[in-house]
Structure 1
């Protein structure tokens, strides 16, 4: 009950304050409308941004699907060529026929056949095994991952059906002659190995009419997993790649529980969209499932973060305006009111100390002049009664005018115009997706509060910087950045990569049309040193140029290499004199900038404000 009474008293004080101060009502109205406009604007932009992001996602995934299809088709073509080349080898054809003619009893032919299959299967990294099949099932096989009985354990009937299927294709002169199967899709003794099988008629140099046996290449699906891997960009997978057959049955998915189910049920149960593309060589389809709900969740998160940010900015603006109005408006008015009260007691000697030239101080100056007039009038009133009455009327008239001029409409509306302008200006800092990466770079660069960051933050900035440079220069160069995840929390100086990377582009790679690259590798040496390598295949430098760069990097005051000199100065400030810069370069080969930073020498106190910031 005591707390309730305190809250009621505070509410009454606030209410009384707002009743006595007209400016506070207008300020609240402006803030209310400002927040309303921002919320509505953010909601509109959120929907527009979601539509834009969804369209760009579909566009990007379509390009990715084309790239995947090219990669998969290339590997599929190579597998088919390998199988076709092996199937027409006369040595294998005659050895299999000899082995079968003798009933598989001669150990010499069996050993020769096993050695030949072993030798032939080693010609491609994804081939898990190679088998010979007849209408009765397995003739002989080589299984690279075999422990005991191999791939076709308990699956001889599948082999027989595959052999008959290939023979029918030969008899009917179907194109293509090869067949494929996903059964069995798992190695019986290695459950983590996904498999599929390509079946070729074993022809040798004989006529197709004499085909009795078939060659089966058993291929691991790791190559397919690698090809689909470029779809996955983050832990929150918005897009997932998978493979279906022409009937829409899922034959490969990262979630193995979905293999064998239909694409239609998968999409309906998960409420996701799908784009697809037919593969060459096999009657399969590459699918990319896109979860628009997750995409919307990301956009909503950005939306609410934006609302929270605007709320904080508006609150800060309110406090700043309250402070400004309190010092520039309320205090001068309070002084005027205080002087008026003194004058009301009969003390016409009271004067207001003028400290400005705005409307309020002009009013105060008028008040001072008024008191001077009243003071002179008071001395004259004793001489003549009518003069005293007239002076009294002038005094009352002057006081009335003074009170009316306390709230100057021109001043109030000018002030409201400024506040409205500031509110509109705050709304124009919404991040536009079209320049998102550039905005991130500028925000990161111009933020003077945090000059010390973590390595993962610096890498994230560097990736965006290289992305924009890549957009600018097109095919002139590619880039990659490699670093152990555990080094991501390593404190480092802000923008310490940029001068080196910029030099690689502007001095090393400029002038190229294509084929350039920049490799950035970060490793930890003996838990004592962090080594950063920035390597390019640019034009390289002569020894004299390397010496000049090192000298200017340590002594430059302005001009060239000032960026590298500044970075080295900051690094030595944070890590001490153990910072080491090494330059390796060869003309027309490239340049490697190696920067070594001491881990144990890091001044942790310099970075204590990273977490707090």
Structure 2
């Protein structure tokens, strides 16, 4: 027995010396193992480089699109904060509070109701606070108002509120161009740690006060996580291989999907990664930047894991093939040559090459497994590309929905005043004229709130404006008159919906301010060369230089993003006009104090004036 055991190696050696096929079999098996390892290593390297390049390209596209949406969301919260800062009713209530020392219960309820209304209209507001140099005056929290939870601005947070107040007031003293102050501390409420916040301080200047007399500051806190979620950036931040985060002007992380990294320096965060590559773009507000970090260490680990399994499979198949090669050495050599040729073709092909299978033995099966792996990788590539195409499409559709939502806005103050005037007229005069007024108003509402219409005809738009002017004239007791001179032949031309009303409203609210009669608004249209010219002119008080300059910047697309007041309405409609008509649109403003204001639009003539209006 011992002799058999100890004599086994000698017999194997003798067998190899006496059987040439065994020597060839061992040599070929070893060669195939080495070839397979080289092939696997080469393909793994090529795949990692391809995956990195493809991921980098897609992430650059994602961060570019997400940054546009983040900028839009940040602009909205800045405008929301500025709107509260110029709210005259809030300023008056706060002044009464500070003068008397105690706010009456009725006035306090009024202030709370208005803060509640502002918070729920804005959507992303978490808290609204009003602070003075000495202390917190009033606070409204969306989640903790009239609940058992304490407010945000208490204890050590009062010092941070003081910092926001001092920073905002310093901007006013410096007469800075941007008069709002941004802070990221405190980052969360002690009872709501899942809500990441950003705070904006603006001077409570009211409508008619000047910045030099400001001594109160409105501090609005917004849900930063919700803002990023709406911009589609939050979906990027969820992925392990390419986390996204936002960095402030001091290079500190203000938002990361992993809370452990919030407040950390970017350089310190990147040290926690084995290998990484950064993609970043600056944001237009607050001095922030958006980052996506490609974690090359994790990416390489996943590739190694996948190819490690393929190597085991490859070696297992080679072992099985070694048993059969003693009976079919010649047939074995053929697929080896094919695999070798496929390895050479990898350098010449962008995609993984396929092997033509011509047999059914183990080596041909190995070639089939290789093809399956190549097909699996190609399917993964296609799936990744499809995913990002769908993600980009969803972002574009969201932007389109937001643009269409702008068209549904209408001046609620105007509706209220008009309906009140009609009601009083019916009660006092018992006149059926109210029926005509109600009919026109009903038609206006139906046209305005119809969200199915992306574009309308010029005739529809002018009829709506005529009804608007008729009701405004009735409401203001003949302060102005109006004329619309556009030939009927242009009435079926398509045009952008609700683009005339903001300019007409500007004439009524500002051009005829303080006037009791004699106002005139003229709307004229006609062909001017190769374009259609439409003008809106009034004989009002005109614009001062301080008012005209920012308006000209809006029309020339040079406006800054911290405009407030009437400029926002005209800025929105100019943006919609440029999206609708493109580069062929031109707008000119002519105005002088005491001489009135005139807006002139040169619109492209439609190629097919009889085309149907899109729905």
Q: Tell me the TM-score range normalised by the shorter chain.
A: 0.5 to 0.7
1:211 corresponds in structure 2 to 214
Provide the C-alpha distance between the structure 1 equivalents of 2:395 and 2:353, rounded to a whole number of angstroms: 18
Of residues 122, 130, 133, the one that matches 2:131 is 133
Shift of 1:467: 6.7
1:186 corresponds in structure 2 to 188
Q: 1:260 to 1:313 in 2, by over 3 A?
A: same
Shift of 1:184: 1.0
Provide the C-alpha distance between the structure 2 equivalents of 1:260 and 1:92, rounded to a whole number of angstroms: 34
Provide the C-alpha distance between the structure 2 equivalents of 1:99 and 1:62, rounded to a whole number of angstroms: 52
Q: 1:472 to 1:136 in 2, by over 3 A?
A: closer
Shift of 1:121: 0.7
1:270 corresponds to 2:183: no
2:235 corresponds in structure 1 to 230
Provide the C-alpha distance between the structure 2 equivalents of 1:193 and 1:298, rounded to a whole number of angstroms: 33
Of residues 40, 43, 47, the one that matches 1:42 is 40
Provide the C-alpha distance between the structure 2 equivalents of 1:471 and 1:156, rounded to a whole number of angstroms: 45
Deviation string 1:277-329 (CA, Å, 9 cap, x unpaired) is 2212111122222221111112222332232222223223323333447xxxx
Of residues 234, 241, 244, the one that matches 2:244 is 241
1:160 corresponds in structure 2 to 162
How many residue pairs get matched? 367
Q: 1:238 to 1:190 in 2, by over 3 A?
A: same
1:420 corresponds in structure 2 to 333
Say if 1:244 and 1:251, in contact at 8 Å, map to a contact too.
yes
Structure 1-normalised TM-score? 0.53
Say if 1:272 and 1:289, in contact at 8 Å, map to a contact too.
no
Provide the C-alpha distance between the structure 1 equivalents of 2:252 and 2:118, rounded to a whole number of angstroms: 33
Provide the C-alpha distance between the structure 1 equivalents of 2:233 and 2:392, rounded to a whole number of angstroms: 24
Shift of 1:26: 1.9
1:25 corresponds to 2:19: no
Q: Map 1:306-455 to 2 at 5 A.
A: 306-324=310-328, 415=330, 418-426=331-339, 435=351
1:170 corresponds in structure 2 to 172
For the residue of structure 1 that corresponds to 2:121, the secondary structure is coil
For the residue of structure 2 that corresponds to 1:286, the secondary structure is strand
For the residue of structure 1 that corresponds to 2:192, the secondary structure is coil
1:86 corresponds in structure 2 to 84
Provide the C-alpha distance between the structure 1 equivalents of 2:6 and 2:116, rounded to a whole number of angstroms: 90
Structure 2-normalised TM-score? 0.53
Flag as ranges the 4+ runs of structure 1 deviating above 6 A.
Answer: 428-433, 436-439, 460-480
2:150 corresponds in structure 1 to 149
Greater relative CO (CA pairs within 8 A, separation 6+): 2
For the residue of structure 1 that corresponds to 2:247, the secondary structure is strand
Provide the C-alpha distance between the structure 2 equivalents of 1:119 and 1:229, rounded to a whole number of angstroms: 28
Shift of 1:174: 0.9
Of residues 282, 286, 301, the one that matches 2:305 is 301
Provide the C-alpha distance between the structure 2 equivalents of 1:179 and 1:101, rounded to a whole number of angstroms: 26
Provide the C-alpha distance between the structure 2 equivalents of 1:129 and 1:231, rounded to a whole number of angstroms: 27
Provide the C-alpha distance between the structure 1 equivalents of 2:272 and 2:64, rounded to a whole number of angstroms: 27
Of residues 63, 68, 71, the one that matches 2:69 is 71
Shift of 1:151: 0.9
Q: 1:208 to 1:472 in 2, by over 3 A?
A: closer
Q: Map 1:544-583 to 2 at 5 A.
A: none
Q: 1:233 to 1:266 in 2, by over 3 A?
A: closer
Say if 2:25 and 2:326, in contact at 8 Å, map to a contact too.
no
The range that moved more, 110-119 or 258-267, is 258-267
Provide the C-alpha distance between the structure 1 equivalents of 2:164 and 2:272, rounded to a whole number of angstroms: 34
Q: 1:473 to 1:222 in 2, by over 3 A?
A: closer
Deviation string 1:212-234 (CA, Å, 9 cap, x unpaired) is 21211111222255344322565
Say if 1:150 and 1:188, in contact at 8 Å, map to a contact too.
no
Say if 2:21 and 2:326, in contact at 8 Å, map to a contact too.
no
Of residues 56, 60, 63, the one that matches 1:62 is 60
Q: 1:82 to 1:103 in 2, by over 3 A?
A: same
For the residue of structure 1 that corresponds to 2:291, the secondary structure is strand
Provide the C-alpha distance between the structure 1 equivalents of 2:188 and 2:270, rounded to a whole number of angstroms: 25
Deviation string 1:443-483 (CA, Å, 9 cap, x unpaired) is xxxxx9xxxxxxxxxxx999987777899999999999xxx
2:94 corresponds in structure 1 to 96
Shift of 1:92: 1.6
Structure 1 residues without counterparts, runs of 5 or longer: 326-414, 440-447, 449-459, 481-613
Provide the C-alpha distance between the structure 1 equivalents of 2:253 and 2:29, rounded to a whole number of angstroms: 56
Q: Map 1:523-602 to 2 at 5 A.
A: none
Provide the C-alpha distance between the structure 2 equivalents of 1:140 and 1:278, rounded to a whole number of angstroms: 35
2:120 corresponds in structure 1 to 122
Deviation string 1:472-512 (CA, Å, 9 cap, x unpaired) is 999999999xxxxxxxxxxxxxxxxxxxxxxxxxxxxxxxx
Provide the C-alpha distance between the structure 2 equivalents of 1:475 and 1:160, rounded to a whole number of angstroms: 42
Q: 1:120 to 1:63 in 2, by over 3 A?
A: same
Q: 1:476 to 1:98 in 2, by over 3 A?
A: closer
Provide the C-alpha distance between the structure 1 equivalents of 2:299 and 2:385, rounded to a whole number of angstroms: 24
Provide the C-alpha distance between the structure 2 equivalents of 1:133 and 1:140, rounded to a whole number of angstroms: 7
